[in-house]
Structures are given as structure tokens and as C-alpha cells.
Amino acid sequence: MKRDAKDLLEQAMKLPPEARAAIAGTLLESLDKNIDEDSEAAWAAELKARIHELDSGAVSTVPWPEARKKIMED
């Protein structure tokens, strides 16, 4: 890694988690040159359905430590 990139990364790592997440998302999006509109629509529909399930009480969330423990056990 070039020194400039390393310095930039070190500075970014000092940012709050929300800012780091925003930067990471923007960087990942910059790698996607070809957007599959069908895929985008499918993800939007999936997200809408999951939000509806949460809002209606049909499903509930699991705290991350509990979910991580379960994932690691499988």
C-alpha cells in the first residue's frame, strides 16, 4: 500500500463508526460500475418486505452478540 493510502486509512480509522461506515459504503459503490436494475429492484422489494415484517411484529430482532454466538456455533 502506498504511503498516501496508508496515511488516509489511518486517518479514516480515527473517525466515528458512522463516518467509517459511510466511507466504506461509498468506496464499495465506486467499485460497481454496472448496476443490475433487476437486482436493485429485487433488493428494494426484499427490504420493504423485511421492514413490514418487523413493523407488524411478525418477526423480532436478535441482539448481535446472541446472533454472532449462534452463527459461530453452526
Q: What per-residue confidence (pLDDT) applies to 61?
A: 94
Q: What per-residue confidence (pLDDT) applies to 29?
A: 87
pTM of the model: 0.48
Q: How far apart are CA 12 and CA 6, in angstroms?
A: 10
For the cut 80, the answer to whether the pLDDT of residue 18 exceeds it is yes
Q: What per-residue confidence (pLDDT) applies to 74?
A: 72
Percent of the chain with pLDDT over 90: 78
Instruction: State the DSSP string of 4-59.
Output: HHHHHHHHHTTS-HHHHHHHHHHHHHHH--S--HHHHHHHHHHHHHHHHHHHHTSS
